[in-house]
Amino acid sequence: MEYWAIVMFAVAVVLLLIGFPVAFTLGAVAMGFGGYFLGWQEFQLLPMRVWGVMTNFTLLAVPLFVYMGVMLERSGLAEELLETMGQLFGRIRGGLAVSIVAVGALLAATTGVVGATVVTMGIIALPAMLKRGYDVRLASGTIAASGTLGQIIPPSIILILLGDVMGVPVGELFAAAVVPGLLLVGAFMIYILVIAFMRPRLAPSVARAADGAGLGRKVVKSLVPPLVLVIAVLGSIFFGIASPTESAAVGALGAMILAALHKRLSLLNLRQAAQQTARLTSMVFLILIGATAFGLVFRSMGGDFVVEDFMTTLPGGEWGFIAVSMLVIFVLGFFLDFLEICFIVVPILAPIAELMGIDLLWFAVLIAMNLQTSFLTPPFGFSLFYLKAAAPPEVRIQHIYRGVIPFVLIQIAVLAVLLLFPESVRWLPDLMNQLQGY
């Protein structure tokens, strides 16, 4: 029977690749295989598991952070940041692209909504970059990669979900992801500056449009509000003042205050933000419920023992397991969404990692960094489609595909750094624990 569990996994993947809805595919495959091999009495456990999902206090942070991101996206924050950063870095070769990365990092730490970030920067920044002579591949690759930083820079929805699936404290996971996120931002900027130095025609400098005093006021006005919000949200978690869910509520309130300061807190925006939050949250939880049914049947059929036996007998011990795990997640990222990988693959790998004595906090950050590439890898990277929808007609999908390849390679290089230097992940959470007396 345990080998039929592997067949069940393969059937689910094939149906997802064909294009069937994720939540219903996982549930239907689980019901079909479970009903045939285990009997319908097996599903008597399912209501309690679903109830456990719906009453999970940690997962309450998901709709709150989604609402925070949607409300900030409607506040006009991104437009102000893009304009100000473009003027601040404009005279440097490649400075406009560097400013895009900086804005992407700031939006990641405040909104974390990848689709909204990519579309906003694609609409505003991409035409400006092309008008100023930037290479279309470099410009599109920079925007697509910068827009995905919200997957690794906290507060990230995928970090919350990974923490819940793997049993890792979300606050510690947020702290562990800060240094890797900054490493990735720095690597993107260094790549752009090197390309601009070696091939100036691909990334020319842009004349600064404001005087020093005026620019300074614009920088303060644009940067201070989001930085205050980031400190309020992440600082309250890192210093033990609030749980991730409580800090998400602070962030949601802060986003509404920022929208009010920008005179964007209208009844229409509130209603649209609430509707979009309900849609995104419903999608996440429907997939989670389908994955719960799938995991119940997969484990009851003994599929987890087959995977465990295979993974624990790999040459190289724990390093062999980590290498194969990262390779499997990377390859699946070409075809599957990060939510599907998080809810189907990670619950199988996490118990094996714990059995082998691997630090689950470090392993979770490795997975998060790896999952971020799924937004950029052709043919089904979501950021690529978001950008194509927002890009001018002269920007073809081939330009975007070729533009993201260097940034995917950079992400793989940063992932290798995290593999070789686990202390880069553990340093900040260990420091936070010491400050709190743990």
* Predicted pLDDT at 112: 65
Task: Output the pTM of the full model.
Answer: 0.84
CA distances from 207 to 83, 88, 91 (A): 13, 10, 5
* Predicted pLDDT at 91: 75
Query: Quick one: DSSP state of residue 210?
Result: S
Q: In 3D, which of 402, 417, 325, 405 has the Cα closest to residue 371?
A: 325
Report d(CA 350, CA 162) in Å as an integer: 10
* Predicted pLDDT at 358: 92
* Predicted pLDDT at 186: 95
Report d(CA 171, CA 416) in Å as an integer: 24
CB 400 within 8 A of CB 144: yes
Q: In 3D, which of 141, 146, 76 has the Cα closest to residue 108?
A: 146
**Spans of the chain, pLDDT less than 70:** 90, 111-113, 115-116, 207-215, 380, 437-438
318 phi-psi bin (left φ>0, alpha ψ -120 to 50, beta other): alpha
Which distant-in-sequence residues (6+ apart) come within 8 Å of 328 by Cβ? 345
Count of domains forming the chain? 1
| 379-404 CB burial, b ≥16 within 10 A, e <16 | eebbbbbbbbebbeeebeeebbbbbb
CB 262 within 8 A of CB 77: yes
* Predicted pLDDT at 8: 92
* Predicted pLDDT at 207: 59
Which range of residues forms the domain containing residue 328? 2-435
